[in-house]
């Protein structure tokens, strides 16, 4: 390739390595997840491809092994493995649970074929003779050398087959999905179209050599340009949905964490946890959110003896009569009963001895879904009905009714 310092390859490789690192913890927690394993494998192979196709790395491999052009079968093997991993990932990415067995069969077949091509590439290189180091034009320089010629043609044939397969699979699946996934698939398909142009340039240059011509510029300059842009598009196409999923997941958790703040504040005095897992400034949002939701459920359980069905039903009727949707009306009713219960619990707790509420009317509330908690939290902060119930409980004396 023309990038003599390798930055054009090392920088994209570093980006893909970061993406692999983001997925590694999830794979450690779920080692049997085939889709996740395929994603991490693909990202690691992509990192290796970028790293080993840089000119400085090619030179280093040749020097370390002491074999001229030893880097060639390494690069061809990595590119073949990367192409196979692409196909396996698309198989697993696009299939549902009902297609699990068929997906495994197709993935195994693709893996076996990929390994067979890699083995053949290395055997052919070992059988051939490449005494002169060629970093940019090995394909055309050894186009007529026994065994090396077959190695090059085998690699290009496998690469072309993978490019056609990936283009068709990605375009077909892109028609069925939307958002970042569709954008990623479109980028991957576009990258593999450029891969086909790369293969066409290589085949043309080799054919010209066989015919006695000199189209080496296609192999040494044009094809690498296609490959560079293709690698960028394919890498971005795979990373985009992954990064988008990570960012969206983090945003949703932070959003839920913030929206639960009114409910958390309402129950702050009633929470009973002994260990605060989310106390540090660098605590991950997953732990912060889990702590907050746990505290909320703990607080609801603490004040539950003071939650009264009559208060909830009255608030529910009022909200439904005002035309509020059923789920929002129920959230307001739960919040109203909870706000009143917190006041009563606090007064009983501050007295000489907490009064025992009558057991006939209490009702336990605790939304079973995150969205239910968020709706109740929003009602605590904004609902006039909730404020009214909270204020009505303040002047009461004696045992709660």
Give the pLDDT of residue 276.
64
Give the pLDDT of residue 1.
41
Give the pLDDT of residue 2.
46
C-alpha closest to that of 257 among 366, 377, 381: 377
Residues contacting residue 129 through CB under 8 Å, at least 6 positions apart? 145, 147, 148
Average pLDDT over residues 308-334: 90
**What letter would DSSP give residue 218?**
I
**What letter would DSSP give residue 221?**
I
C-alpha closest to that of 156 among 194, 124, 117: 117
More confident residue, 190 or 238: 190
Give the pLDDT of residue 399.
45
Check pLDDT > 60 for residue 400. Answer: no
Residues 134-144 have pLDDT tens digits of: 988 899 999 99
Give the pLDDT of residue 397.
44
Distance CA 226, CA 198 (A): 6
C-alpha closest to that of 194 among 224, 155, 150: 224
pTM for the model: 0.69
Distance CA 61, CA 329 (A): 69
**Residue 154 — pLDDT band, cuts 50, 70, 90?**
very high
Residues contacting residue 223 through CB under 8 Å, at least 6 positions apart? 198, 201, 202, 205
- Quick one: what percent of the chain has pLDDT higher than 90? 42
Average pLDDT over residues 161-189: 89
Give the pLDDT of residue 275.
56
Segment 397-400 long-range contacts (CB within 8 Å, at least 24 positions apart): 398/355, 399/355, 399/356, 399/357, 399/358, 400/306, 400/308, 400/344, 400/348, 400/355, 400/357
Give the pLDDT of residue 78.
93
Residues 260-299 have pLDDT tens digits of: 999 999 988 887 655 566 566 778 888 899 889 888 888 8
Give the pLDDT of residue 278.
58
Distance CA 63, CA 391 (A): 82
Q: How far is CA 6 from CA 18, 56, 61, in A?
A: 18, 6, 14
Check pLDDT > 50 for residue 250. Answer: yes
Check pLDDT > 90 for residue 35. Answer: no
Chain centre distance of CA 396: 53
Check pLDDT > 50 for residue 249. Answer: yes
Residues contacting residue 398 through CB under 8 Å, at least 6 positions apart? 355
Residues 373-395 have pLDDT tens digits of: 999 999 999 999 999 888 887 75
User: Mean pLDDT for the chain?
Assistant: 85
Check pLDDT > 50 for residue 55. Answer: yes
Give the pLDDT of residue 378.
93
Check pLDDT > 60 for residue 401. Answer: no
Give the pLDDT of residue 9.
79
Check pLDDT > 70 for residue 132. Answer: yes
Check pLDDT > 50 for residue 82. Answer: yes
Give the pLDDT of residue 360.
42
Give the pLDDT of residue 280.
65
Check pLDDT > 90 for residue 157. Answer: yes
Check pLDDT > 90 for residue 6. Answer: no
Average pLDDT over residues 200-219: 93
Most confident of 20-24, 47-51, 238-242, 355-359: 47-51
Average pLDDT over residues 160-167: 92
Residue 308: strand, helix, or coil? strand
- Quick one: what percent of the chain has pLDDT higher than 70? 89
Distance CA 216, CA 274 (A): 73
Give the pLDDT of residue 279.
61
Residues 337-352 have pLDDT tens digits of: 999 999 989 888 765 4
Cα diameter, the chain: 106
Give the pLDDT of residue 351.
56
């Amino acid at each position: 390739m023309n990038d003599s310092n390798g930055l054009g390859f090392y920088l994209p490789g570093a980006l893909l390595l970061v993406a692999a690192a983001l997925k590694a913890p999830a794979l450690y927690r779920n080692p049997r997840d085939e889709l996740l394993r395929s994603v991490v494998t693909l990202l690691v192979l992509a990192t290796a491809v970028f790293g080993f196709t840089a000119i400085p790395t090619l030179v280093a491999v040749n020097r370390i092994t002491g074999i001229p052009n030893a880097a060639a079968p390494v690069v061809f093997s990595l590119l073949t493995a990367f192409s196979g991993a692409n196909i396996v990932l698309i198989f697993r990415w696009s299939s549902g649970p009902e297609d699990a067995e068929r997906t495994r069969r197709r993935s195994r077949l693709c893996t076996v074929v990929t390994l067979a091509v890699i083995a053949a590439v290395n055997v052919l290189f070992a059988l051939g003779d490449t005494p002169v180091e060629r970093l940019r034009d090995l394909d055309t320089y050894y186009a007529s050398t026994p065994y090396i010629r077959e190695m090059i043609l085998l690699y290009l044939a496998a690469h072309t087959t993978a490019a056609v397969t990936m283009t068709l699979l990605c375009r077909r699946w892109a028609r069925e999905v939307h958002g970042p996934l569709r954008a990623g698939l479109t980028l991957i398909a576009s990258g593999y179209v450029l891969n086909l142009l790369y293969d066409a340039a290589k085949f043309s240059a080799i054919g010209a050599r066989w015919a006695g011509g000199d189209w080496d510029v296609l192999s040494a300059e044009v094809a690498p340009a296609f490959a560079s842009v293709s690698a960028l598009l394919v890498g971005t196409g795979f990373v985009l949905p992954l990064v988008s999923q990570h960012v969206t997941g983090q945003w949703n958790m932070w959003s839920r964490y913030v929206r639960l703040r009114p409910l958390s504040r309402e129950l702050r005095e009633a929470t009973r946890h002994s260990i605060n897992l989310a106390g540090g400034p660098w605590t991950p949002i997953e732990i912060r959110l889990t702590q907050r939701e746990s505290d909320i459920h703990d607080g609801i359980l603490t004040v539950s003896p003071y939650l009264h069905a009559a208060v909830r039903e009255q608030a529910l009727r009022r909200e439904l009569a005002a035309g509020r949707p059923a789920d929002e009306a129920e959230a307001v009713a739960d919040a109203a009963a909870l706000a009143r219960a917190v006041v009563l619990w606090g007064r009983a707790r501050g007295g000489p001895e907490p009064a025992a509420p009558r057991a006939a009317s209490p009702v336990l509330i605790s939304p079973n879904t995150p969205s239910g908690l968020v709706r109740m939290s929003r009602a605590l902060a904004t609902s006039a009905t909730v404020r009214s119930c909270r204020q009505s409980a303040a002047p009461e004396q004696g045992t709660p009714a």
